Amino acid sequence: MVLVLVEQAAGQLAEPSAQALTLARGLAGGESLDAVLIGEGDGLAAQLGRHAVDTLHAAAVDGSYAPAAWAAAVVELAGRLSPTALVAAGTEVGNEVLAHVAARLDLPFAANCIEASAGDGARVTRTRWGGSLLEEARVRGALAVLSVQPHAVAVVEVDAGDAAIERFTPALAEADLAARIVEHVPAPSGGVSLVDAKVVVSGGRGVGSAQGFAIVEELAGLLGGAVGCSRVVTSAGWRPHTDQVGQTGTKISPELYIPCGISGATQHIAGCRGAKRILAVNADPEAPIFASADYAVIGDLHEVLPAISAEIRNVRGT
C-alpha cells in the first residue's frame, strides 16, 4: 500500500496534494492507496475518492501546525499500515513533515520528485539545485519516503467511489509540540501579489538603495504589476523577503518579467523560469541575465526605467 500525506485549505484538497496523489497512484500500481490528514477531513471523502483513495486516516492533533507532532502521527500510522511508500506534496509543510518522519525512521528522503516508479524501493526523478538539474535516483529501504515537486505533475482523476474516513488520535510527547505556529502575521501587500501578477518588475543590487525602488514601483504600478527583487536586496534590508524572487524566494510565472540591475544568478533564475517573456535591464552587456532574456536593454536602470514610465504616460496621455 502507498500512503499519502495530504493537506487541505478551507475544506478543499490542496492542489499540490492532488498532484502528489496522481504520482502516488502510478507508484502504487496494483497496490491500494490510502491518505493521511492532520485534521478533520470532513468533506474530503468524495474529493479523495476521485484519486482512488480507499481510506482517509484523519489524525486528531489539537492546535496549529507542529511539524514534529504531525510526523509522530504519520509514523504511528505507518507503523500500523506498513506502506511500501510514503508520499507528500513538496510544499513547505510536506517537506518539513517528511524530513521529520525520515529522521525518526532512519530512512532516506527524496524530496521534490517529478516521476516515481516501484522497483527495489522506488526509482525517482527529482529536481535539484532550484530546478536547474534533474537527478535520477533509487530510494532503497522497506519504506520509500518521497515528496512531489509542486506543479510538475498533471492531476488525473478517476471514476471511483468515496474514500472511507477513519479517525485516530496519535500518542504525542510534550516535545512533539515544542515547535509550533503560534501566530499568523499577514504579509504586507500593496495590491497584486507576486505569484498572481501578470507583470513583475524586479530590482537587484543595481537599484542601489531602498529609496531607489521608487522607479521600480512606479513602472510596476503603471503596468498593473508587482514589485520583486533579488536576494542581495532582501539581505540589504531594502525590501521584505516576501518580495524575493528565486530559489529561496517566490517562484513566479508572469506574462512579462522585467529584472532590472539583476545579474541573473542561477538561484534567481530558478524563481523566474516560468515567466513567458523576460525583458532584462542591465548596464553590463555581459550580464548572465541576458542569456535567459527575450529582450535586452543595456543601460543604466536609473535612466531606462523613468524613460519607459514617461513613454507609457505619454502614450496613455496621462
Ligand X SMILES: Cc1cc2nc3c(=O)[nH]c(=O)nc-3n(C[C@H](O)[C@H](O)[C@H](O)COP(=O)(O)OP(=O)(O)OC[C@H]3O[C@@H](n4cnc5c(N)ncnc54)[C@H](O)[C@@H]3O)c2cc1C
| Residues within the interface to ligand X (CB under 6 A) | 204-206, 230-232, 244-249, 261-263, 265, 267-268, 271, 281-284, 287, 300-302
Smallest distance from the beta carbon of 121 to ligand X, in angstroms? 29
For residues 28 and 15, what is the distance between their CA atoms, to the nearest angstrom? 20
User: Three-state SS for 300?
Assistant: coil
Smallest distance from the beta carbon of 205 to ligand X, in angstroms? 4
Smallest distance from the beta carbon of 236 to ligand X, in angstroms? 9
For residues 92 and 89, what is the distance between their CA atoms, to the nearest angstrom? 9
DSSP string, 126-180: EEEGGGTEEEEEEE-SSSEEEEE-TTSS-------PPPEEEEE-----GGGGSS-
Of the two residues 121 and 261, which places its CB atom closer to ligand X in the complex?
261
Of the two residues 104 and 302, which places its CB atom closer to ligand X in the complex?
302
Of the two residues 55 and 282, which places its CB atom closer to ligand X in the complex?
282
User: Three-state SS for 55?
Assistant: strand
Count of positions (residues) in the chain: 318
Smallest distance from the beta carbon of 130 to ligand X, in angstroms? 7
Q: Which three cell numbers stand for residue 241?
A: 523577503
Of the two residues 72 and 194, which places its CB atom closer to ligand X in the complex?
194
Q: Please, where are the H alpha helices in 143-288?
A: 214-222, 231-235, 266-272
Maximum pairwise Cα distance, the chain: 70
Smallest distance from the beta carbon of 269 to ligand X, in angstroms? 9
Which residue has its beta carbon closest to ligand X? Answer: 246
Of the two residues 147 and 244, which places its CB atom closer to ligand X in the complex?
244
